[in-house]
Structure 1
């Protein structure tokens, strides 16, 4: 075998090993939400890694920052990172109210529209369309519009 052929073969094998890892990370980061009553976050991408957090909050928004096979490296609203199985996550967008004081939920996406209710930081809800600084927000069937800057999970991941 010539040196050129051996080098080409080595490069092809190396490319084959590297390509799947790149394909796994296509489309990240993206928003997701926890889709289980109980979800374990682990320190590594596998069941043999120790559990670092146990989430008991369905629809909690998370940011997926990396993919490795069926595992997702996620970041939660507090900034903690760890690995979670893809089966425990949904692409359903959700958000959590952030900031100080109560957030106003309005009937329409304007500050002058009827005030539906106020929610505390930490309230989780499903997220609808966001436009002009306002997002549709559904907290347990109570629907309205919240200012996007009060929601972690709105905007680009």
Structure 2
């Protein structure tokens, strides 16, 4: 498939308005996580395309921005990415700490007891998000973080 043919299919999908994927009918963009310990992000949606990135961190949150057959266009926190086969991705929601020494709190309140200080780059499993705070599991700890300290959840997104 030529790049022009792929672009013609994807142009309607690339808008950031709340759209649905043509394959899954799930919202675009949306967050997923890397299921495998390693995954190749390719220049296009096919094994013949060049590998641009190799992700080597299981549970890394990625944003899906487009779909084509069994392929998903993903980007990481830095806006880098490419096309990955859907089998490498999971619907399990994770988030990456994007600010250094972020306090994990016992409750969704800036004055709540501090459970731990988290370094930038730590990944945890999202449990729920509400009014500016997200509940997250990191190893054996469960607590609350300000949404602004996380990458892997949209601003204003609420889920439980």
Question: TM class, shorter-chain normalised?
Answer: 0.7 to 0.9
Describe how 1:53-92 pairs up with structure 2 within 5 A: 53-92=53-92
- TM (norm. structure 2) is 0.79
Q: Which residue of 2 aligns with 1:112?
A: 111
Q: How many angstroms apart in 1 are the aligned matches of 2:104 and 2:142? A: 8
Q: What secondary structure sits across from 2:87 in the alignment?
A: helix
Q: How many angstroms apart in 2 are the aligned matches of 1:114 and 1:40? A: 41
The answer to whether the 8 Å contact 2:132/2:146 transfers is: yes
The answer to whether the 8 Å contact 2:126/2:134 transfers is: yes
The answer to whether the 8 Å contact 2:33/2:89 transfers is: yes
Q: How many angstroms apart in 1 are the aligned matches of 2:97 and 2:80? A: 17
Q: Which residue of 2 aligns with 1:143?
A: 142
Encode CA deviations 1:89-118: one digit per residue, 9 max, x unaligned.
01111110113x311100111111110001
- TM (norm. structure 1) is 0.81
Q: Which residue of 1 aligns with 2:16?
A: none
1:135 CA displacement? 0.3
Q: How many angstroms apart in 2 are the aligned matches of 1:138 and 1:49? A: 36
Tell me how large the CA RMSD over aligned residues is. Answer: 1.9
1:56 CA displacement? 1.2
Q: Which has the higher helix share?
A: 1
Greater radius of gyration (CA)? 1
Q: What secondary structure sits across from 1:105 in the alignment?
A: strand
Q: Which residue of 2 aligns with 1:130?
A: 129
The count of corresponding residues between Structure 1 and Structure 2 is 137
The answer to whether the 8 Å contact 1:25/1:68 transfers is: no
Q: Which runs of 5+ in 1 are unaligned?
A: 1-17
Q: What secondary structure sits across from 2:79 in the alignment?
A: coil
Q: What secondary structure sits across from 2:48 in the alignment?
A: coil
Q: Which runs of 5+ in 2 are unaligned?
A: 1-8, 14-20
Q: What secondary structure sits across from 1:24 in the alignment?
A: coil
Aligned structure 1 segments of 4 or more residues deviating by more than 2 angstroms: 21-27
Q: What secondary structure sits across from 2:36 in the alignment?
A: coil
